[in-house]
């Protein structure tokens, strides 16, 4: 049976971006297996679509900043619509948390693209906001990503270079020759590959577990809520993220999209099931931070998975034990903001067969090289 050069399991942003950048590097004959009937049906299709580069972890900041450059100026023909709505993002903190915010925003280049802002600016934009903020930073170019356009752009680019996406096809077992992974058994038969890539989000460690490994990823469920249209809101308002009390919101379809930043640990298969008590958590945070909207209703509530490695670093790179296996997983709450750079980095590792880099570690030298692209 012939071997495809690279087999990718999962067509969320991780798999789509990796396929795209492999194709850009001249890799032909890529196969993507996706269990669902279409791309981006799990975390990639269930998130808040916020482009945010500031992060306490230097690696996340570098990857998001690199991705932002791609999203703001994608290659010719990548998408017919803009990938970013630069409505701006404010990171703000209540009085008790201003020092914490200050410490990490001014570190690691996080604030290079930002401006210290008076919280009064925010009260002018959102008069409904509680007057409890002690500090704020404004990131002018950040805002809301068109996730569908991004994923379709990656997949289109990969297909144009001959990649094949097989929807409705679940990878069930890793196939081995000795210690080398040589593809997967799928519901449509065996697919042999020189390199196999786990880009399967909350399920990424399931195939290794079936081959005897311990679980290596933790799945944390998070809910989002959208409200019906609110006539008092400006449609193009910025994203507001309250650090120190974990709450964010942004305009969406004439109303608000809100997140109370809950995170209970669940099995991957339960990550999209709603937890009843979350309604109270939304009500409490809305009462605390948006008292000017006393009766916010939920038009829709949904949940999705944020997936973490034990050390909370992204799991991008070759498997430390099994040759022929790569990971592009554990993207936590940053997979969309960081997706382009993660795909590029993963493609470099896969195409150039670097093997010395342990999984779950992003090396600083590689990142500084990346940031100069
Ligand atoms: C509520 C919430 C809000 C978020 N907000 C943001 C945000 O504003 N900005 C941001 O940057 N990030 C955000 N995130 C994080 C972001 O959504 C994720 O980091 C990202 O989507 C992960 O992408 P992925 O491709 O790894 O996983 P997924 O999108 O889940 O893709 C994995 C794919 O693999 C497929 N698959 C799994 N197992 C198999 C198998 N055995 N065979 C074949 N296919 C398989 C699945 O069907 C799925 O399509 C948020 C997450 C949540 C839950």
Whole-angstrom CA distances from 203 to 264, 308, 356 are 17, 11, 25
- Most informative mutation of 241, 305, 336, 337 for ligand 1 (most atoms within 8 A of CB): 336
Residue 208's pLDDT is 97
3-state secondary structure 215-243: CCEEEEEEEEEECCCCCCCCCCCCEEEEC
How far is the centre of ligand 1, averaged over its atoms, from the C-alpha of 124 (Å)? 35
Whole-angstrom CA distances from 129 to 89, 94, 111, 142 are 15, 12, 24, 21
Q: Are 372 and 344 in contact (CB under 8 A)?
A: no
Q: Are 181 and 326 in contact (CB under 8 A)?
A: no
Q: Is the CB of 336 under 6 A from ligand 1?
A: yes
Q: Are 326 and 373 in contact (CB under 8 A)?
A: no
State phi, psi for 15 to the nearest 5 degrees: -70, -40
Q: Is the CB of 62 under 6 A from ligand 1?
A: no
Q: Is the CB of 30 under 6 A from ligand 1?
A: no
Q: Is the CB of 10 under 6 A from ligand 1?
A: yes
Residue 354's pLDDT is 54
Q: pLDDT 10s per residue in the chain (373 long)?
A: 789 999 999 999 999 999 999 999 999 999 999 999 999 999 999 999 999 999 988 899 999 999 999 999 999 999 999 999 999 999 999 999 999 999 989 987 888 889 999 999 999 999 999 999 999 999 999 999 999 999 999 999 999 999 999 999 999 999 999 999 999 999 999 999 999 999 999 999 999 999 999 999 999 999 999 999 999 897 789 999 999 999 999 999 999 999 999 999 999 999 999 999 999 999 999 999 999 998 899 999 999 999 999 889 999 999 989 999 999 999 999 999 999 999 999 999 998 865 544 444 454 334 333 433 3
Whole-angstrom CA distances from 160 to 27, 126, 153 are 12, 45, 11
Q: Residue 94: which H helix or E strand, with range?
A: strand 89-94
Q: Are 162 and 30 in contact (CB under 8 A)?
A: yes
Q: Is the CB of 203 under 6 A from ligand 1?
A: yes
How far is the centre of ligand 1, averaged over its atoms, from the C-alpha of 334 (Å)? 10
Please tell me the distance from the alpha carbon of residue 328 to that of residue 8, in angstroms, as a whole number: 10
């Amino acid at each position: 049976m012939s071997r495809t050069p690279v087999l990718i399991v999962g067509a969320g942003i991780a798999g789509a971006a990796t396929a795209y950048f492999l194709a850009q590097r001249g890799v032909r004959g890529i196969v993507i297996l996706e269990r669902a009937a279409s791309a981006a049906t799990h975390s990639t299709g269930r998130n808040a679509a916020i482009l945010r580069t500031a992060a306490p972890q230097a690696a996340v900041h570098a990857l998001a900043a690199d991705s932002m450059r791609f999203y703001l100026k994608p290659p010719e023909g990548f998408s017919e619509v803009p990938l970013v709505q630069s409505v701006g993002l404010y990171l703000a903190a209540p009085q008790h948390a201003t020092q914490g915010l200050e410490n990490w925003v001014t570190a690691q280049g996080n604030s290079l693209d930002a401006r210290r802002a008076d919280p009064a600016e925010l009260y002018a934009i959102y008069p409904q906001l509680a007057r409890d903020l002690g500090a704020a930073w404004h990131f002018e170019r950040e805002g809301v990503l068109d996730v569908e356009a991004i994923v379709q752009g990656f997949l289109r680019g990969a297909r144009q270079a001959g990649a094949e996406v097989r929807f409705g096809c679940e990878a069930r077992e890793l196939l081995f020759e000795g210690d080398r992974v040589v593809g997967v058994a799928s519901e449509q038969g065996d697919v042999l590959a020189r390199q196999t890539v786990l880009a399967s989000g909350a399920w990424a460690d399931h195939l290794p577990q079936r081959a005897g490994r311990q679980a290596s990823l933790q799945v944390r469920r998070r809910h989002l809520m959208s409200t019906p249209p609110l006539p008092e809101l400006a449609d193009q308002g910025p994203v507001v993220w309250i650090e120190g009390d974990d709450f964010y919101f942004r305009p969406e379809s004439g109303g608000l999209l809100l997140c109370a930043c809950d995170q209970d640990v669940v099995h991957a298969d339960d990550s999209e099931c709603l937890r009843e008590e979350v309604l109270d958590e939304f009500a409490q945070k809305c009462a605390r931070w948006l008292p000017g909207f006393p009766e916010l209703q939920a038009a829709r509530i949904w949940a999705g998975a944020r997936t973490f490695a034990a050390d909370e670093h992204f799991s991008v790179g070759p498997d430390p034990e099994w040759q022929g296996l790569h990971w592009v997983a554990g993207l936590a709450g940053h997979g969309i903001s960081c997706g382009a750079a993660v795909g590029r980095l993963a493609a470099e590792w896969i195409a150039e067969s670097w093997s010395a880099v342990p999984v779950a570690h992003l090396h600083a030298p590689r990142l500084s090289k990346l940031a100069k692209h």
